[in-house]
Amino acid sequence: MWDVHRARVHWPRLTPMPQAQVWLVRLPDDTQAVSPETQACLSQEEVQRARRFTQPRHAWRYMAAHAALRTLLAEALHCAPHALAWQTDADGKPHLPQHPLQFNLSHSDVWALVATHPTLALGVDLEIHQPWQDMDGLALGILHPDEASAWQQLPVATQAQALHAAWTRKEACLKALGTGLRLPPEQVVVGMAAAPSQGRWRQDGGHTVDWCDLPLPLPTPHSACLAWVQA
């Protein structure tokens, strides 16, 4: 059985930029349920949402990831995990109404990332690599024309890795802005540089977002990125 309090001591922490913290969380495997103590960290809304998953492993991982997020925020704010009450804006980005601490969560397969910063809005994304069903179609759908041209010139053997990296960077930037896919990903230009890399994207008429790839000690191919909005 997976318990958030026992698991907490094993989460490595990265500090990819000043004051930012990113924790790598190992979620339950296919046969592990979460403990009652873990479920007690969650809100009723989170428990109800988890119960709507058709696959039990997806429910357990959802609960574990959100319990991990609540546990880390509670440590920073000196409160009980279940006592945290955040709000979401019109695009669904959560925030703490009475505290400037910023946070974001991403999970893929049996891994999750929790990122925090004292004041800067941020986004984090983790993707465990899976085969693309229509790699060419996806590339044309999410890449800026300059990125698509550069991607098409890459060796075929490296295209999947490059596309995973680009998608992860774009997702992190969009999560930092809080727009989600309301802003088309092809408008977020992150280049096709091989990971690890870092960069800056300036939204037309809007914010400046910095991003950096995250080197994670995972046994499977993956891409991970942290993005933050400049104050």
CA distances for 101 relative to 64, 67, 72, angstroms: 21, 17, 12
Query: Alpha-carbon torsion 226, 125, 161, 187, what sign?
Result: negative
**d(C-alpha 140, C-alpha 26), whole Å:** 33
Q: Which residue's structure tokens are 């991982």?
A: 61
pLDDT of res. 97: 86
pLDDT of residue 204: 80
Segment 122-161, tens digit of pLDDT:
999 999 999 888 999 999 999 999 999 999 999 999 999 9
User: What pLDDT sits at residue 206?
Assistant: 83
| Mean pLDDT, each 10-residue run in order, the chain (231 residues) | 97 96 97 96 95 95 98 96 86 84 96 97 96 90 95 94 96 90 88 89 88 95 96 72
Residue reference for tokens 């990903």: 185
First and final C-alpha spacing in the chain: 42
